[in-house]
Amino acid sequence: MKIQIDIFSEKHFINFAPNSVFEEIVQNVRNIFQQIKGTIPYQRDMGSDENIIDLPSENAIMIYQIDTLKQLKKYEPRAKIRSFNWKGSDIVNGNLKLVVTIDVKESYL
């Protein structure tokens, strides 16, 4: 099943009892994308490196994408990223908006 997730558009709270496996997977993907490395107890290597903030936008985007692909493979293997969409971003000024399309493996639905 394919779904688009607008990563930074709104604040999402963790649901400790998701209604479905699909909802749990989407929540996990969003969580992986929004965390900063070193802030999650017992999983200090999960999340993005905060040092990319000071990089030029093009470099930060590439590092972020590569890092999140690795993170997703490690922490949520039930989902696979199909595409990153940075449309609507103001790259010159560093205002980035991300929509990610993921596939959830049918065997988990």
Kindly report the pTM of this predicted structure: 0.80
Question: Which residue would you say has higher pLDDT here, 2 or 79?
Answer: 79
Of 6-20, 64-78, 91-105, the least confident = 6-20
What mean pLDDT do residues 32-55 have? 87
Q: Tell me the per-residue pLDDT of 53-72, one tens digit each, with 9 for 90 and over.
A: 888 888 989 999 999 999 99
pLDDT at 10: 62
Domain boundaries, the chain: 2-108
Write the DSSP string, 19-49: SSHHHHHHHHHHHHHH-BTT-STT-TT-SB-
> How far is residue 99's CA from residue 86's CA, in Å, rounded to a whole number?
7
The CATH number of domain 2-108 is 3.30.2320.50: no
